[in-house]
Amino acid sequence: MHLDLAWAQVQRKRDADALLHLMEAERVAPEMVRYNVMARELVREMLARQKKSKTSALHRLAVRAGVLD
């Protein structure tokens, strides 16, 4: 459910809300965020739009999900 909600928020360009849903999905089932193609693509899309530093919560999530090394 959280991945679907995150997808909807990314489509609306509400990345902060999407990030909260992805983080909750990771809390419940970390393997889902790490290995789910849609989750990883959502993280990539949000990273492309992000203007903040590499110390942000999104960047840390991207590293944990294997999107960034």
At 6 the pLDDT is 97
Looking at residue 50, what DSSP letter applies? -
CA 7 – CA 13 distance, rounded (Å): 10
Looking at residue 61, what DSSP letter applies? H
At 56 the pLDDT is 86
Q: What is the pTM of this model?
A: 0.89
What does the block give as tokens for 46?
A: 């949000």
Specify the higher pLDDT residue, 69 or 40: 40
pLDDT at residue 25 tops 70: yes
Three-state DSSP class for 56? coil
CA 54 – CA 37 distance, rounded (Å): 22
Contact predicate 10/46, CB 8 Å: yes
- Average pLDDT of the residues in 35-60: 88
The fraction of the chain above a pLDDT of 70, given in percent, is 94
